[in-house]
Amino acid sequence: MNLLLTLAGVAIVLVTTADVFFTVLFPASRHGPVRKPLSSAVWLLFRLGGGLLHGRRRRNFLSYSGPVVISATLLGWFLLLNAGFALIFKPALGTAILAGSGPTETSWAAAFYYSGFNITTLGVGDLKPEADAYRLLTVAAAALGFAYFSMSITYFLSVYSHLTGRNAFAQGLHHLTGRSGDAAALIARFAGSGTLDDARQHVSAKADFLRQIHQSHMFYPVLRYFHYRDPSYALPRILLIALDTAALIRSALDPHRYRRLLHSTGIAELIEAADDLLTGLTSDNKAHLPAAAEAADWHRRFDEAWALLKDAGLCLRADQAAAARMYVAERARWNQPLRALADFMLYEWATIEHERSQDTASPGGTKVE
């Protein structure tokens, strides 16, 4: 029986240590025997609770999901390490591990107490190892405890550092669209006096930020569980603006007047970076043939974007109907995966894509009534 307890304790310590290693030091491996199921379970609870709420109440509730997932992971590591070493030390209580004075308590509470004292690097308390093997195990527990706290701090700081970068990028996109989340408004603001001379640099910069977001989410999958009360920080909103910007540039703008922009590496990079990020975040990556009502809605949105771009002084394609068909075909490529991502993350689509006719921003950033 004692051997089984020791073997179980060793297994728990090894699995927990491996999970900390893969999560903090080798996150690109995507392994996580503890973190992955624990994060999924916590997110499932938030999905169940969030599914019962709507609007701002849902966003307020989900805003706790990311911090809770991180807290559950860190707490889970600590409890498992404590439990694993408690299983190892329990058979030795009263024999190889003795009290400093008086009789030695051999209960499970004493085992967890001794294990916890070591893991938190507080020392051995009133229990002391007398056998060499358990002296070494005590040192090993303290060393792993010190490493656990150090790596936990590193993990925490890394996650929030990447999160700050993602939020800054989202806020920048939000401001570029005149706080509307409308890709057409973003292109109109690029236009200036009717040219798009600076658009290629802007587009390349946005593609670079999307690649950074993609890499950060590969290294720290917990980032996808962070929600904010303000939907302008939502990942589906970021992707929608990026993909819709590329779709409108390619479908609406005059291919001769803006040839250098349409065929620039910046546009290709923007599409590829957004596609890679979307692919990394959702398993639904198939093109979707829109229903008649959905296609009609996209046509209407394109017509509204067309009017906004025309008012901004941009040269557009000669055939608006053909341009609209190009836009619908391009949108059909990524709309369904994007909607699937929004649904998985419990974002209400109305907060991701606003009705342009109700909340349209002019190139100067003011609302057009």
At 243-300, the pLDDT tens digits run 999 999 999 999 999 999 999 999 999 999 999 999 999 876 666 777 888 999 999 9
Per residue in 299-347, pLDDT (tens digit) is 999 999 999 999 999 999 999 999 999 999 999 999 999 999 999 999 9
Q: Is residue 131 part of a domain?
A: yes
Clarify whether residues 184 and 145 are in a common domain. no
Q: Looking at the domain assignment, is residue 79 inside a domain?
A: yes
Query: Same structural domain for residues 207 and 79?
Result: no
Domain count, the chain: 2
Residues in a beta bridge with 129: 97
| Predicted local confidence at residue 284, as pLDDT | 64
For a pLDDT cut of 90, what percent of the chain falls above it? Answer: 81
190 and 144 fall within a common domain: no
Indicate the residue among 153, 169, 194 that finishes a domain.
Answer: 153
The CATH number that applies at residue 37 is: 1.10.287.70
User: Span 97-125, mean pLDDT?
Assistant: 90
> Residue 1: its pLDDT value, please?
79
Q: Are residues 200 and 338 in the same domain?
A: yes
Give the model's pLDDT for residue 285.
Answer: 64
Average pLDDT (213-240) is 93
Q: Confirm whether 201 is domain-assigned.
A: yes
Rounded (5°) CA angle 86-87-91: 100
pLDDT at 123: 74
Q: Are residues 338 and 198 in the same domain?
A: yes
pLDDT of res. 271: 95
Under a CB-based contact definition with an 8 Å cutoff, are residues 258 and 196 in contact? yes
Report whether 244 contacts 301 (CB < 8 A): no
Specify whether 119 is located in the same domain as 182: no
- Has residue 368 got a pLDDT over 50? no
pLDDT of residue 363: 42
Backbone angles phi, psi at 253, to 5 degrees: -75, 150
- The residue that leads in pLDDT, 27 or 313, is 313
Could you tell me which residue, 362 or 272, shows the higher pLDDT? 272
Higher pLDDT pick, 29 / 35: 35
Give the per-residue pLDDT at 21: 93
**pTM: predicted TM-score of the whole model, two decimal places:** 0.87
Amino acid 94 reads: G
Average pLDDT, the chain: 90
**CB 288 within 8 Å of CB 295:** no
What pLDDT score does 52 carry?
95
Residue 11 sits in the same domain as residue 89 = yes
Residue 170 inside a domain? The answer is: no
Q: How confident is the model at residue 365 (pLDDT cuts 50, 70, 90)?
A: very low
Do residues 32 and 137 share a domain?
yes
Give a yes or no: residue 149 inside a domain: yes
pLDDT of residue 194: 57
Residue entry with tokens 């009263």: 94
Which residue in 211, 212, 187 sits closest to 199, CA to CA? 187
Is there a single domain that holds both residue 236 and residue 336? yes
Nearest to 50 by CA among 345, 284, 339: 345
User: In terms of residues, how long is the chain?
Assistant: 369
> What is the residue range of 248's domain?
177-368
Nearest Cα to 190, choosing from 272, 270, 298? 270
Report if residue 171 sits inside a domain.
no
Q: Which residues of 16-32 are buried (b: 16+ CB within 10 A; e: fewer)?
A: bbebbbbbbeebeeeeb
Domain match, 147 and 181 both:
no
- Is there a domain that residue 132 lies in? yes
Same domain for 205 and 327, yes or no, is: yes
According to DSSP H, which parts of 24-107 are helical?
A: 35-50, 55-62, 65-89
SS3 316: strand
Residue 46 placed within a domain = yes
- Per the model's pLDDT, the better-predicted residue between 240 and 1 turns out to be 240
Q: How confident is the model at residue 209 (pLDDT cuts 50, 70, 90)?
A: very high
Which pLDDT band holds residue 101 (cuts at 50, 70, 90)? confident
Amino acid 144: pLDDT: 95
Q: Quick one: 360 and 231 in the same domain?
A: yes
Q: Among 153, 168, 185, give the residue marking a domain's end.
A: 153
CA dist 51 and 59 (Å) reads 11
